[in-house]
Amino acid sequence: MKFKLFSMAIILLLAAGFLVSCAPSEEPAEEAVEVNYLEESQAEKDARMEWWRDARFGMFIHWGLYAVPAGEYNGVKSDRIGEWIQDWANIPREEYEKFADEFNPVEFDAAEWVGLAKDAGMKYMVITSKHHEGFSMFDSDVSDYDIVESTPYGKDPIAALSAECKNQGIKFCFYYSIMDWHHPSQYVDQEGRHRTAGHGRNSIIPEQKEEYINYMKAQLRELVEKYDPEVLWFDGEWVDWWTEPDGKDLYTYCRSLKPSLIINNRVGKGRQGMQGMNKGPDYAGDFGTPEQEIPDTGLPGVDWESCMTMNDTWGFKSYDDNWKSTETLIRNLIDIASKGGNYLLNVGPTDKGVIPEASVIRLREMGEWMDVNGEAIYGTSASPFEDLEWGRATVKDGKIYLSVFDWPSGSLEVPLPDEEITRAYLLADPGSELEMQKGDATLEIELPAKAPDEIASVVVLEQ
Ligand code: FHN
């Protein structure tokens, strides 16, 4: 209730402020709109979240100027993540800007990227519109530090991606960093560090915070109006100078631009440490964002999405070859779905616009598994079981999908003593009929000697 009252105040303030702060001076002030979306009912929120909950699997793309150095600066490499090179290599702004002169993704192909996501079974794509480096990967009207004005490429790949996602039926979404290592309002206040380098806990000139917030709002307005995203995935919110009220205001503003938008919990201070758990319903944001991990019991009762890398970096590094196996990636997807979450799996393209071959191979192999077994993932809900030694479970429309990692010799024991199961079959062979018999506290299902899939095979139980 506190949030709702707060939001009504914000809406009224926003409606008043809106006419002053964001409307470009050359346009007539727009009518203040009374928007009551923050008064939405649970049913309205469920309707807004429905496609996202059903999707279960998306592509994260970290693409920016950091792909030019690709993890190396002045001969120095690091085991730190590639998109933070302006921080760990202590690169001052004017030096970092020179990477724009070399950023020329002549091999970028929007249809190829979207097709790769689609063929992998991904239903949405979240791409960095602006990471901490502050460089706009889209054609921004409020900053020349963008891909059209500042690089030899001179085109807008985001427009191409947005259009291609619509063509291929993939939901197009944006990542946007609140912390901005290029904006003049922000600086590094640490011994031995360049004042204009990157830094995980940068500072803001207090008198310029409002100007920066208006800069962000102007960029967010153009991102929504020009590219029509479905999700805004905020990040960089942990800085001391960003507050939960700031987050609630930004959430309210973004939803006023497009009420059906879905916004993560990093718009404000709702993320608990790096885990991304939700601090609670009083914090702004529609879903939790665990990072590089899968919460042991999921986040019961809330929407959440685990974001992970395929190797160890989000932004491209030329020497990070620590790739997770396709088995690990598929079993992560199943594990996350069995706990009621979404899997946002990252690719980090090169400065030439190429997604690394190791990522492509894994995504194609994931797609082959999803072609056969996607029914056990899409639109499902969390497992009804505490713990299954041999695999995971999901449920949907009166069916229980058992994803078996460790294929037993003989029968599969399922802790379902009382459930009325009318039929059991292999998802890979819908015509198959598996014999069942009641054990002491289990249902025993006779399985063929050979598993249909060595990574995970799905047994379907019809109730
Ligand atoms: O600092 C960023 C990092 O570069 C990356 O974008 C991840 C992805 O979730 N988010 C932040 C770290 O939590």
Q: How many CB atoms lie within 10 A of CB 16?
A: 11
CA 80/CA 119 separation, integer angstroms = 31
Same-domain pairing of 358 and 423: no
Q: Tell me, what's the pLDDT at 38?
A: 66
Q: Which atom of ligand 1 is nearest to the CA of 291?
A: 9
Based on C-alpha coordinates, what's the Rg of the chain?
Answer: 24
Whether the Cβ atoms of residue 173 and residue 232 lie closer than 8 Å to each other = yes
Q: Tell me, what's the pLDDT at 438?
A: 87
- Burial label for 365, CB within 10 Å (0-12, 13-18, 19+), is middle
376, 408, 427 - which closes a domain: 376
Distance from Cα 265 to the centre of ligand 1, integer Å: 13
Same-domain pairing of 244 and 372: yes
CATH number of the domain at 87, please: 3.20.20.80
Same-domain pairing of 114 and 220: yes
Q: 3-state DSSP call for residue 346?
A: strand
Phi-psi region of 56 (alpha: psi -120 to 50; beta: other; left: phi over 0): left
Pocket test for ligand 1, best of 314, 316, 317, 344 (most atoms within 8 A of CB): 314
Q: Amino acid identity, residue 163? A: A
**Is 122 near ligand 1, meaning CB less than 6 Å away?**
no
Pairing of strands 171-177, 186-187: unpaired
Q: Tell me, what's the pLDDT at 37?
A: 52
- The structure tokens 């790949």 sit at 157
CATH number of the domain at 435, please: 2.60.40.1180
Cα dihedral value 179, 184, 189, 190, nearest 10: 80
Whether the Cβ atoms of residue 186 and residue 138 lie closer than 8 Å to each other = no
Distance from Cα 235 to the centre of ligand 1, integer Å: 7
CA 245/CA 269 separation, integer angstroms = 9
Same-domain pairing of 242 and 122: yes
CA 346/CA 363 separation, integer angstroms = 10
Same-domain pairing of 325 and 445: no
316, 348, 376 - which closes a domain: 376
Whether the Cβ atoms of residue 248 and residue 7 lie closer than 8 Å to each other = yes
**Is 291 near ligand 1, meaning CB less than 6 Å away?**
yes
Residues 6+ apart with CB under 8 A from 183: 134, 212, 215
**Is 127 near ligand 1, meaning CB less than 6 Å away?**
no
- The structure tokens 């009318």 sit at 422
**Is 235 near ligand 1, meaning CB less than 6 Å away?**
yes
Phi, psi of 202, deg, nearest 5:
-75, 175
Number of alpha carbons in the 13 Å side-chain half-sphere of residue 390: 17
Distance from Cα 84 to the centre of ligand 1, integer Å: 9
**Is 307 near ligand 1, meaning CB less than 6 Å away?**
yes
Same-domain pairing of 370 and 402: no
Distance from Cα 5 to the centre of ligand 1, integer Å: 32
CA 264/CA 253 separation, integer angstroms = 14
Same-domain pairing of 84 and 191: yes
Whether the Cβ atoms of residue 390 and residue 404 lie closer than 8 Å to each other = yes
Q: How many CB atoms lie within 10 A of CB 431?
A: 6
Whether the Cβ atoms of residue 130 and residue 136 lie closer than 8 Å to each other = yes
Same-domain pairing of 94 and 63: yes
Query: Which residues are paired to 365 by β-bridges?
Result: none
Q: Tell me, what's the pLDDT at 21?
A: 33
Same-domain pairing of 359 and 253: yes
Distance from Cα 433 to the centre of ligand 1, integer Å: 47
Please report, in tens digits, the pLDDT of each residue of the chain (463 residues total): 333 434 444 444 333 333 333 333 344 444 444 444 567 899 999 999 999 999 999 999 999 999 999 999 999 999 999 999 999 999 999 999 999 999 999 999 999 999 999 999 999 999 999 999 999 999 999 999 999 999 999 999 999 999 999 999 999 999 999 999 999 999 999 999 999 999 999 999 999 999 999 999 999 999 999 999 999 999 999 999 999 999 999 999 999 999 999 999 999 998 876 666 677 778 899 999 999 999 988 777 889 999 999 999 999 999 999 999 999 999 999 999 999 999 999 999 999 999 999 999 999 999 999 999 999 999 999 999 988 999 999 999 999 999 999 999 989 999 997 778 999 999 999 999 999 998 888 999 999 999 999 999 999 999 8
Distance from Cα 197 to the centre of ligand 1, integer Å: 17
**Is 314 near ligand 1, meaning CB less than 6 Å away?**
yes
Cα dihedral value 293, 114, 265, 90, nearest 10: 70
Q: Tell me, what's the pLDDT at 272?
A: 76
Cα dihedral 212, 218, 223, 224 sign:
positive
Pocket test for ligand 1, best of 289, 291, 310 (most atoms within 8 A of CB): 291
Same-domain pairing of 288 and 168: yes
Whether the Cβ atoms of residue 314 and residue 84 lie closer than 8 Å to each other = no
- The structure tokens 């058992």 sit at 402
Same-domain pairing of 261 and 339: yes
Number of domains in the chain: 2
Residue 24 lies in a domain: no
346, 376, 406 - which closes a domain: 376
Residue in 384, 418, 400, 369 with CA at minimum distance from that of residue 463: 400
Q: Which H/E stretch holds residue 161?
A: helix 157-168
CA 40/CA 46 separation, integer angstroms = 10
Same-domain pairing of 397 and 353: no
Residue 23 lies in a domain: no
What does DSSP assign to residue 32? P
Q: Closest residue (by CA) to atom 10 of ligand 1?
A: 235
Distance from Cα 340 to the centre of ligand 1, integer Å: 22
Q: Which atom of ligand 1 is nearest to the CA of 81?
A: 4
Residue in 144, 132, 136, 143 with CA at minimum distance from that of residue 91: 132
Its domain, for residue 448, covers 391-462
CA 83/CA 406 separation, integer angstroms = 38
3-state secondary structure 172-197: EEEEEECCCCCCCCEECCCCCCCCCC
Q: Secondary structure of the chain: what % helix, strand, coil (to 5)?
A: 35, 20, 45
What's the pTM value of the predicted model, to 2 decimals?
A: 0.92
